[in-house]
Structure 1
Amino acid sequence: MNAPERPARRTLAAKFGAIGCTMLLLALAAIGLTLWVTWQLEGGAAAVNEAGRMRMQTWRIAQALAADGPAAAAPVVERFDASLALLRRGDPARPLAVPRDAASLQALAAVEQRWRQLRADWQAPAGRLGPEATARQAEAFVASIDRFVGAIERQLARWTTLLNSAQFAMMALAVAAAVALLYAAQLLVFSPLARLQEGLARVESGDLAARVAVAGNDEFGAVAEGFNRMAERLQSLYGSLERRVQVKTEHLETERARLAALYEAAAFAAQADTLQALAHGFAGQLCRVARADAAAVRWSDEHNRRYVLLASDGLPEPLVEAEHCLPTGGCLCGQAPGDAHTRVFPLQDLRTGPSAAHGAGLCARAGFAQLVSVPVRLNERLLGEIDLFYRHPVTLHPDDRALLDTLASHLAGAMEGLRADALQREAAVAEERGLLARELHDSIAQGLSFLKIQAGLLRDEIGRGVPSRVVDHRLAELDTGVRESLSDVRELLLHFRTRTNAEDIVPALRTTLTKFEHQTGLPAQLTVTGEGMALPPDVQVQVLHVVQEALSNVRKHARAGRVWVEVQQSPRWIVSVRDDGRGIGDAALTSDETHVGLRIMRERAARIDAALEIENTPGAGTTVTLTLPPLQAAAGLENVAAHA
């Protein structure tokens, strides 16, 4: 059905134009009427004047006839005829016109008829009339002229009344026009404008339901319609804005809750010190965040063959016992690593059937209607799984999936962090054991080796029957070695490292060489060249142990006659231990478990980023060279400055 056509819009200009044109036409009509009446009055007045002139001409003619006869009156008669003709035809230029009413025209006709008779009598050749007769005829004719003038004056009086009425009508028209314009302005302008202002004030005060009545089909009507559409649009936008703000507020609140959950999960993961505590805490947090009725955290082995239940929250005890360990793929819980992702499983239809034999049926019989399975993945490795149980079906939105995946990532990172901490602790224990082994080797083991050698020499000398003074000397050396070993043990127990001078390693090297000479009887020479920066204490320890190990190898294997220790301090630290013994075999230079001393020296050199070189010349001795990097000197300078 077609909509009804709207009437053509009548503009304010058209309305005011119509009113103005009407007023203008009325004003023009009134003005034209007054002009026409004024013109008639002026013409009638001129006709009255001309009639008065005719009275005078009548009396002149009568006097001329009485005195001199018709010939003397002829010029005056002609002027009279001219005046009468002028009254008959009128003169627009003067103006002069006889009113066209019946009385005036009849009076003019009577004057003309009587004038024709009178002129005939006065111009007759029969003889002259007497003065009395001429005067009587002239007086009678003047009376007719007076009647003619009276008819004109009566008509002029009526025109004067009409003129006054027209003037009053013009005054009334002016007043009516002013009143009509004011009323039209009030009706067409001020009243619609006031309604628009009232509507604007209501909208400004917050009343978006305000509407303006459309009272016309003009510009103000169009503005009112536009205002109503604007108010309706604003009301719609405000209503939708409130809804959008409410939705946005709810979304922000949801995001805040999710961020809070992630923050709590991250904080808890950072504080958890064991895998069990981590799993228990995450299970409780997942129940609160996901609004689940129960939650389970499962761990998967390295090959993802099985899932072990680490912790649960809200699960019935029979279900916990039944699902303590699940084979991968044997139930809805425990996804295979190749296709593991967040899934939603309905459980209402699993009370009976093939799936009821294991976990799915147990979950359904326990009253759970839905299961959400979230894999715990770190990079490409599947570490476990999070299972959320619901007693009523829920809808898992994409944001909820993202939150669960993020929480699972936090759990995976925390699990990997605990694993890394465990490996780090294991590495630290291994490193401590290695350090203890090196310290034992460099201190007690060397002393015990010396004691073993001295005991063997003492046994041989006793067997050969050497003098008692030689035996006493060997016993004294054994006693010194035992005391030194005991001192090393005490120092190892108290400090677990060899003490060195904090600023200079040279005194410690001299002490080591003195001890070596006392134990072996071999001369040892220390040579120091250059002026270098002091080494840090931890570097000094490693350098000193390398030198001690090299000297121990000389004592055990070299069969040397002399030992040289050379120290170069600049441009970098280089420490070398050289002997003139028989050298060592090539097999001993390889790093294996049977040559502990060489391996420990290389480990110590690696700890301080130094280079260890062993030069072996069979029959001519061995040289062990330790070259330190330049950074060690800088570190030593900082250390010296710190002790200053």
Structure 2
Amino acid sequence: MGNVLNRIRQSIVFRIGVLMLLTVVVAIGSMVASYVISDAAENDAAAVNLSGSLRAMTYKSVATASSGDRLATQNLAEQISARLDHIAAISEFSPADHQPEAQNFREVSREWQQHILPLLTSVASGESRISEGELLSTAESFVDRVDTLVLDYQHTAEHKVELLRLVQLGSLFATVILVYFSLFSLSRSVEQPLRKLIASCRDIARGNFRQKLDLHGEDELGLLAQTINRMCEVIDGTHRELETRVRDKTAQLHKSHEVLDFQYRLARRISEGPLNGLEIDQWLAEFSELTELHDLDLCLMTPEGMTPYQHLTHGAGNNACQENNCNSCAHASGPREVAGQQIYRFPLEADKRNYGVLVCTLPQGQLLQREQQQRLSAFADAVTTAITLKERSEQDRRVALMDERGIIARELHDSLAQSLSYLKIQVARLARCSRSDALDRDQVVEITSELKQGLNASYRQLRELLTTFRLQIAEGGLRAILEKSVFQYREQHPEITIGLVYDLEEIPLTPNEEIHLLQLVREASQNAVYHSWGDHISIHLTQGEGQEIRVSICDNGVGISESPEKRNHFGMSIMQERASNLGGGLDIRRRESGGTEVSFVFVPEYARERQLLWNNAAGGGG
């Protein structure tokens, strides 16, 4: 019984099934009871009818017996006995039945068999002589008992009808009660919980996972509600955790964006030019605030030095730091615990040269995160790059200064030095003339005239050298400055026709290549102007085969001498050096049609890089 009650409490289906089963049982019970009662009452009407007919037949048999009609009396007696037997048969009374109708029937049957039937038979046969009034009085007593029997059968039939009515009313009431409880159970256990479940599902579909179903039953819907509540709790917890993680990731991305922006600005500033100590200090302070690392030391050292020439500190810095013999600190890396502090060192190293160290100090027990270490390492690399670029820039300026000084020396040697040597010879001649006893005025005038011409030539060469040394590649590029130079030559030497063909618009040239090409063309053009004795000069800059650049300067003058080792007049050594700097080949030869041709062929840097990439790709693919 306890299991059934538990199942009724825990299962809606079982509960509804029990209610339906009870309804069916009540309906079947009502039908069975009605059938049994109606079956039991089937012979009650016949029993009443037969019992009622005994009265008339009794009176009739009294009349026939009193008239002496023995045969008619015998027939009526047999009919009465037969009807009593029929009543006994349909009533099915047992000898032990104590119901009133059974007792009355037994008394009626006994009185008939023992008194009335023998009396009627003896009267009809004439054996007994009693008056008709006495016989009628005896018959009336028997009829009274028969009337009581009829009333008993009537009451029995009425009781059965009343019982049938009560059974039907009871079954109807029970059915109504069961239907009501079924509907109430469906409404309370199914309809209302389903309505709450549907409302909850709609809220969940809208993304509300914080609502809670107030269903505490132990049935299927209660279990479903508990499951939905747990699911909502899990999803809401996961949702909140994801929101927290998204906020954290957003903050990290924002921080990473700020760091990337800082690194970009720092890289752009480094590309613009060298950083001084004040700027590095400002970048260090910004980096410290950005990464929330408040104790930083940046020691800048020369590669040969043992102590920093500049020590930049942000925050408290490294309290254990002593600026004496910092070489071991500059070359150390990784975390180390010193004087109750956690010390992280990031050396500033490039090309096996050390330029200092970046030190981050943390309290004891606190460690740098991997991302913070990467940011510190990137900042140290940026500072190293800035120092390296500054050092290389200074080295490049020194090399450029030495190259420029060499060029100036060669130019002075090829122009002013020779002119001054010539003037020195003329001054020596003038001195000898002045020391002689007989002064030759014509010779003095000749020498003076030559000195004047030499001075004018030296002054002209000086102006041209100044123009050359002040030459710069400004806006417009190589073509514009070449056209300007050709225009100047035409103004200075109107007797010479100078042509320029420039077909390198589609080729990207580096500043170094433009400077060397400009100087090479100017030197070859100058040689043609001053030493070829021709009246036509053509300058061609074109693209050759295999992405080569061809440069040629041709004149129609006297041509190069047979002794090319004497190259000062044409600046051959200078042009050879420029050609080697560009990795090309220089050729100076006499033209068959007359004059000299200076040709130069080289592959520009962009083409060499492209060819290198192709070779690497082909090697990697093989």
CA–CA separation in structure 2 for the residues paired with 1:186 and 1:316? 75
The answer as to 2:313 corresponding to 1:326 is no
Query: 1:535 and 1:229 mapped to 2: Cα distance?
Result: 79
**C-alpha separation in 2, matches of 1:477 and 1:470:** 10
**SS class of match (1:386):** strand
* AA at the equivalent of 1:18: V
Of the three residues 378, 397, 410, the one matched with 1:406 is 378
- Partner of 2:169 in structure 1? 168
Kindly indicate whether the alpha-carbon contact (under 8 Å) linking 2:337 and 2:343 is maintained by their aligned counterparts in 1.
yes
1:47 CA drift (Å) = 1.0
449 and 78 in structure 1: CA distance in 2 versus 1, 3 angstrom threshold: farther
Asked whether the equivalents of residues 47 and 97 of structure 1 are also in contact (C-alpha less than 8 Å), the reply is no
Correspondence for 2:405? 433
Let me know the Cα RMSD of the aligned residues: 5.4
Q: Which runs of 5+ in 2 are unaligned?
A: 1-5, 472-479, 505-513, 543-549, 605-622
- Give the 3 Å change call, closer, same or farther, for CA 273–59 of structure 1 in structure 2: same
- 1:407 CA displacement: 0.7
Residues 220-619 of structure 1 mapped to structure 2, 5 A cutoff: 220-234=221-235, 236-238=237-239, 240-241=241-242, 243-245=244-246, 247-248=248-249, 251-252=252-253, 254-256=255-257, 258-259=259-260, 261-263=262-264, 265-266=266-267, 269-270=270-271, 273-285=274-286, 287-288=288-289, 289=291, 291-293=293-295, 295-301=297-303, 306-313=306-313, 323=323, 326=325, 328-329=327-328, 333-335=329-331, 340-348=332-340, 369-378=341-350, 380-389=352-361, 394-437=366-409, 439-441=411-413, 443-445=415-417, 447-448=419-420, 451=423, 472=445, 475-493=448-466, 496=469, 502=483, 533=501, 542-543=520-521, 545-546=523-524, 548-549=526-527, 573=552, 575=554, 583-584=562-563, 597-603=571-577, 611-614=585-588
User: How many residue pairs were aligned?
Assistant: 564
Question: Which residue does 1:88 correspond to in 2?
Answer: 88
1:90 counterpart SS class? helix
Provide the identity percentage. 20
User: Is 1:104 aligned with 2:101?
Assistant: yes
Change (3 A) 1:307 1:446: same
Tell me by how many angstroms 1:411 deviates.
0.5
Give the match's secondary structure for 2:300. strand
Tell which deviates more after alignment, 59-68 or 413-422: 59-68
Tell me the distance in 2 between the aligned counterparts of 1:104 and 1:321: 129
- Post-superposition shift, 1:262? 3.5
Deviations 1:53-72 (A, max 9, x none): 33344455455556682334
Q: CA offset at residue 405 of structure 1?
A: 0.7
The residue that corresponds to 1:177 in the other structure is 178
- Give, in whole Å, the separation in 2 of the partners of 1:205 and 1:584: 96
Work out whether residues 450 and 481 of structure 1, in 8 Å CA contact, stay in contact via their aligned partners in 2.
Answer: yes
Normalising by structure 1, what TM-score? 0.68
Give me the TM-score of the superposition, normalised by structure 2. 0.70
Residue 177 and residue 287 in structure 1: after superposition, are their counterparts in 2 closer, same or farther (change >3 A)?
A: closer
Q: Distance in 1 between matches of 2:21 and 2:603?
A: 109
Contact 2:416-2:462 within 8 A present in 1 as well: yes
Given the superposition, is the C-alpha separation of residues 283 and 178 from structure 1 closer, same or farther in structure 2, using an over 3 Å criterion?
closer
- Listed one character per residue, the Cα deviations across residues 145-180 of structure 1 (whole Å, up to 9, x for unaligned) are 222212212223333333343343334323432443
> One-letter code of the match for 1:21?
L
- Indicate if the aligned counterparts of 1:505 and 1:535 stay in contact, CA closer than 8 A: no
Aligned CA distance change for structure 1 residues 109 and 479 (closer, same or farther; 3 Å): same
CA deviation vs aligned residue, 1:3-61 (integer Å, no higher than 9, x gap)? xxxx7773122223333333443444344334433344442122111223333444554
Cα deviation, 1:174-211, whole Å, max 9, x if unaligned, reads: 34324433443455445655776798799889684846
Which position in structure 1 is the counterpart of 2:610? none
* 2:121 matches 1:120: no
Residue 605 of structure 1 and its aligned partner are, at CA, apart by: 5.5
Distance 1:169 1:597 in 2: 138
Q: Which residue of 1 aligns with 2:546?
A: none
